[in-house]
Amino acid sequence: PYLQAYGDLGRWDEVDKMLSRPAGMAVSSAFISLWRARATLKIDNDTARSRQHLATAYEATGHGREPTLAAAAASFAEEAGIWDIAALFYKGLAEHQPKSRLPMLEKLRQAALRGRDITTLMESTDKLSALRPESPQYRNDSIYLQLVNGEKLEMNRQRLEASSDDSKDSIIQLCRALSAYRFGDLAGVRQHLKTIPDPKALSPGQRAVHAGLLSVSGQVGSAFQIAEQIPTILLLKEEQIFLQRAL
């Protein structure tokens, strides 16, 4: 409580100084590192030292084995916009806290999205899809991300062929067009693009891919009209590549 009281008074220098010499304080090293991360962010208005303290806290919590402090550190990392460290904590919590695996994987997925980390995004989405095989959202997102990244092309073509009942789903139709593109089938790209029922229902990143596919299939004007309205702040690097083809 007294640390929070100091913080509330804006005396973060004193908090950091106190915790830099914690002899006699009945607190864990993870607790100290978390509070020093908070203090240094307030002092520096920069994430560099805060990131270092959070990395120390990650090790001190046993990579998520100490759930209360790990969850608090993950939440703070999110607030600070240190998305890769937040993802580390959520990945550890998902692994070591089985009862909260699903919500921690979802938080991991969101942290990876905000950090534009497609590898972690694919891994977390695949794990969620395995935990919830009845969920079309996780399955469709898994297919989409792998195709955007150019991975497991044949496996995902087969997954799409098994999704014949989803013909009215915009993301599935986009994935079919994207799969055709990955196999060099421009006629297939054009065919599947025509069957997307509601392109506006797609996420910004998916709309970027849609615009890129329109452009490579010869619909340059339509592609540009879509592309110029897409906010780029949360696009994955792989989605930005498609967007650039339409601009």
Q: In which band, very low, low, confident or very high, does the pLDDT at 150 lie, cut at 50, 70 and 90? A: very high
C-alpha span between 244 and 247 (Å, rounded): 5
Structure tokens at 242: 């498609």
Is the pLDDT at 227 greater than 70, yes or no? yes
Residue among 72, 43, 48, 45 at smallest CA distance from 60: 72
The letter for the amino acid at 13 is D
Is the pLDDT at 165 greater than 70, yes or no? no
The letter for the amino acid at 131 is L
To which H or E segment does residue 80 belong? helix 67-80
Average pLDDT over residues 29-37: 94
Is the pLDDT at 238 greater than 70, yes or no? yes
Q: Render pLDDT for 99-117 as a digit per residue (tens, 0 to 9).
A: 999 999 999 999 999 999 9
For the entire predicted model, the pTM comes to: 0.90
Length of the chain in residues, anyone? Answer: 247
For 234, which DSSP code? T
Q: Render pLDDT for 81-95 as a digit per residue (tens, 0 to 9).
A: 999 999 999 999 999
Provide the pLDDT for residue 65: 93
Provide the pLDDT for residue 68: 95
Is the pLDDT at 1 greater than 70, yes or no? no
